[in-house]
Amino acid sequence: MGRYQPGQHDSFIKCDAPRCGASNAPEGSAEYDAECWRCGEPLGGKPEPGDEVTVDIVDEKADGTLVCKTEDGFVLFLEADIAAIEATVRVTTVDETYGEAELVEANP
């Protein structure tokens, strides 16, 4: 278990261990494993509420909510009026496929 199955998942977590780079199933799915199936190193993934993470602001919804992605590709929604492409946020809630966050600091 833990291998990325093309056609079953929309996204995956890539192992960052040197000389590995295996694709693993996303967190929250039945196939997800907290460790890489190839090398055994722990994988990144979903942040926990209270975590402060740096995100890239990738889009804005029609209602003004900012769509952000963590380094691991997890989507967070941020209600803030900032003109930045990167920010430090505090995760407030986490669901299976997305989370919500509050602004800590806008990065230039």
d(C-alpha 77, C-alpha 83), whole Å: 15
* Structural domains of the chain, count: 1
pLDDT, mean of residues 51-80: 90
**Residue 34 near residue 41, CB atoms below 8 Å:** no
pLDDT, mean of residues 82-89: 91
Q: Is residue 4 part of a domain?
A: no
Residue 89 clears pLDDT 80, i.e. is over it: yes
Q: Is residue 79 part of a domain?
A: yes
Residue closest to 31 by CA, chosen among 14, 7, 8: 8
Q: Is residue 7 part of a domain?
A: no
- Give the CATH number of the domain where residue 90 resides: 2.40.50.140
Q: Is residue 21 part of a domain?
A: no
Which residues form the domain of 56?
A: 51-107
Residue 3 has which token pair? Answer: 């291998």
Q: Is residue 62 part of a domain?
A: yes
Residues 24-56: tens digit of each pLDDT: 665 555 455 566 766 766 666 678 899 999 999
pTM of the model: 0.61
